[in-house]
Structure 1
Amino acid sequence: MQQQYHIGIIPDGNRRWARERNLSDKEGHKHGSIVVKDAIEWALKKPEIKEVSIYILSEENFNRSKEELKWLNAVYSEGLNDLRHREFIRKLKVRVKMISTKPEKLDSEVKKVFKSLHSETKIYSNKVLNILIGYTGKSEILAAINKPLNKIKNLFFGLTEKDILKGMQIQSSCDFIIRSSFEEAERESKSGFLIWQSAYSEYYNIPKHWGDVTT
């Protein structure tokens, strides 16, 4: 049986891509959203790839201005709605999961689209797409640790790796991480992405802004 892999993607450089072309930040993110969907489809169509995790918004990004968050949420809602109707989701039987460590801060329209995606794809198990939004790995680990601590036995016998893993939203190890952005080419920054799951990941940096990435 062919080995199947879990791929992580950190798309970075949308604003820099836009500014180099005298476009607005919003236009950069809209273009980046199209590239994201194309990259997801390209990856999941490969038989050796079972799972894709893509990082679209960190917890820290909630500190951006209200105006910026408003149009970012509009871009996300539009992009997710388009993803719902992509043929490959049904053809490949892709289960789509929203992964968030601050779901209460997510825009109501974004959550509504995610609810539809989850409802429409929860019966699938052939492939998995994890969309990380309002997420950071530190918060996921803390939440995972706190769950088993509520069980008295763990206070006496100590936590095991298995105990913590049970509390994680994503339990499979990430085999490869792909990050774009020309300015990040010299350093392997994961920006809080899947800290636990990527302990042994191989890291690949694409020395381009995300908007310049092609499949």
Structure 2
Amino acid sequence: MHLSIIMDGNGRWAKAKGLNRTEGHKKGAEVVKDITTFCANNDKINYLSLYAFSTENWKRPKYEVDFLMKLLDNWLKKELDTYLENEVRFEVIGDISKFSDKLRKRINITKEKTKHFTKLTQVLALNYGSKDEITRAVKKLCNEKKEITEENINRYLDTSIHNIPDVDLLIRTSGEIRVSNFLLWQIAYAEMFFTNTLWPNFTTKELEEIIKNFEKRERRYGGI
């Protein structure tokens, strides 16, 4: 199963506690570790994709963007042992060319050291937007003078390049009911769950309940 999560609510969690938004992001990072470890030890989940930084997030205040970049770098350095201990392959989708050389190097090191694992693939969407992903895929097809077909577009998407299948279950936290330009192509037949829980308060127990409800749904993929 490919589980995908739009991790929303860090800022509101911090605001409710009278804290700076950056504290919400720190707490949210702790939840990422808990959820990833849970998924790595759940035989039903093979892929976990997390919306970490969108193409639109550059519009946020510079101090917050700078903090998120530093947080990601520190996270990958600190949590490498977690990836190794839980046999988690780390992968990235999105255009990371805008990131610093240091951060890109950290990303590539983590990918290299975990590339042989098959227990779980954790996919971080970084500087990712689905419209941007599809546009880049079509440009590649045009540059290579290949026919614009559904099959060819799919083949050139970030997910397909890294052998990541379409989404089965999409979860968004914080009560917002929208997908915010995340994996629009890949969620065509995904089951969707929206929870009011802010991401820093999201737990493995709630995730278990959502998975149980997901398993009760009948997926017909347009059929009867």
Asked if TM exceeds 0.5, the reply is yes
Instruction: Name whichever of 90-99 and 202-211 sits farther off.
Output: 90-99
2:59 to 53, 60, 63: 63
Aligned ranges for residues 6-85 of structure 1 at < 5 Å? 6-85=2-81
Query: Would you say 1:180 and 2:176 are equivalent positions?
Result: no
- Aligned residue pairs total 200
Q: Deviations over 1:85-127 (max 9, x none)?
A: 11xx2344322112123x2212333322211101101222342
Distance 1:151 1:109, change over 3 A: closer
- What is the Cα deviation at residue 39 of structure 1? 1.0
Which structure 2 residue ranges, 5 or more long, are not aligned? 205-224
**2:221 is aligned with 1:195:** no
d(CA) in 2 for partners of 1:108, 1:151: 28
Percent pairwise identity: 32
Q: Determine if the alignment matches structure 1 residue 124 to structure 2 residue 117.
A: yes
The answer (yes or no) to whether the contact 2:8–2:198 under 8 Å persists in 1 is yes
Q: Which runs of 5+ in 1 are unaligned?
A: none
* Cα distance in 2 between the residues matched to 1:107 and 1:30: 21
Give the structure 1 partner of residue 90 of structure 2.
96
1:206 counterpart = 2:202: no
Measured against aligned partners, the alpha-carbon deviations of 1:138-168 in whole angstroms (never above 9, x if no partner) come to 01111111222234452xxxx2221111101
Instruction: Name segments (4+ residues, structure 1) moved above 3 Å.
Output: none
Give the whole-Å Cα distance in 2 for the aligned partners of 1:24 and 1:60.
Answer: 21
Alpha-carbon RMSD: 1.5
Q: Shift of the alpha carbon at 1:173? A: 0.7
Residues 34 and 79 in structure 1, CA contact (< 8 A), matched pair in contact too: no
Determine helix, strand or coil for the equivalent of 1:57.
strand
Structure 2 counterpart SS, 1:85: helix
**SS class of match (1:23):** coil
Amino acid at match of 1:173: D
Name 2:218's counterpart in structure 1: none
